[in-house]
Amino acid sequence: MIEVTDAIDRQVRLERTPMRVVSLVPSETLSVAELVGVERLVGRTDYCIEPVGTVEGIPSVGGTKGFDVEAVKALRPDLVLANKEENSRPLVQTLISAELPVHVSFPCTVDASLVYLETLCILLGIDAAMAAPVERCRAAVERAARREHSEALPVFVPIWKEPWMTFDEGAYASDLLRVCGARNVFAGRPRQYPLAADLGKTPASNTLRAADRDTRYPRIRLEEVVERGARAVFLPDEPYAFGEADAAEVAAIPSPEPIVAELVDGKDLFWYGTHVARAVERLSEDVARARARCFGLAPHK
């Protein structure tokens, strides 16, 4: 018997080691593949694109938000991997109500991602202490912690445009920035309600989390990027595909100090699980390069 508690406080019980896994989360699809191989994956979403070259042969059940419940059932999974934020709550609940073995994750920090990996290893019936991908993640985080920085680089990371959107300190990417030597300048800026208050068009009536409201993703004015002292902007290619034109736009924001714009891999910012090993190394390099451009320093090795 395998038993763990998931992110919505459910006891997930498996009678035996799962050999038919459906993953509804791109980073978890990659994690399963790197921990036990793609052979155990019998279903994925359209956005589960890693590992390239092997995942394409796995049947898709649709998008992360709008996956086909009947298609998932038809695959006869003995484990379904879902995420509290990434997947549609009603659809996940439908799978649970159908008595499918569903595990719901929700890591919001790098440490929580490491704990998630340990839980995934338990679910998959392997020893986390002997799993090389888990060790690589731990080692990458430890190396990042040993790097010396005079101070964290103030960074703005948009996730959408028209209107511009970002994330506060409650999001996984914000903690990842911290680990990699940067500081999210919007860490203390929750989403305000009514929504027009985010854009400064009306006073905020309630800045506290309310029922079914997630305040972690504020809409912002570009002027706030300067007001909050950002020296660098990291532009990811997901969930919005920012490009060179966007980099030029944010670099041209009137500011007392020049703002450096860098295009970065969105997976590095938002994919938890085994991808953390690569993400921490590459994002630390992104931070070092942006710091060098801001202050005329040699990148820190």
Q: How high is the pLDDT of residue 228?
A: 96
Predicted local distance difference test score (pLDDT) of residue 197: 80
Amino acid at site 206? N
Question: Is the same domain home to 222 and 247?
Answer: yes
158 shares a domain with 281: yes
Cβ atoms of residues 102 and 12 within 8 Å? yes
Question: Side-chain half-sphere of 266: how many Cα atoms within 13 Å?
Answer: 13
pLDDT confidence of residue 248 = 93
Q: What does the pLDDT read at residue 147? A: 83
Is residue 117 located within the same domain as residue 152? no
Domain-located, residue 197? yes
In a domain, 122, yes or no: yes
Q: Which domain holds residue 240?
A: 140-295
Report CA 85 to chain centroid distance, whole Å.
10
What's the pLDDT at 198? 81
* pLDDT for the residue 66: 94
The 10 Å CB-count burial string (b at 16+, else e) for 41-65 is bbbbbebbebeeeebeebebbbebe
| Number of structural domains the chain divides into | 2
CB burial class (10 A; 0-12, 13-18, 19+) of residue 16? exposed
Domain co-membership, 74 together with 110: yes
pLDDT digits (tens, 9 = 90+) for 159-169: 999 899 999 99
Domain stops at, among 103, 126, 149:
126
Regions of the chain short of the pLDDT cut 70: 149, 204-212, 297-301
Q: Are residues 6 and 118 in the same domain?
A: yes
Q: Report the chain's terminal Cα–Cα distance, integer Å.
A: 46
Q: What is the 3-state secondary structure (H, E, C) of 166-208?
A: CCCCCCHHHHHHHHCCEEECCCCCCCCECHHHHHCCCCCCECC
What pLDDT is recorded for position 283? 97
Question: pLDDT value at position 301?
Answer: 45
* CA atoms of 228 and 209, how far apart (whole Å): 23
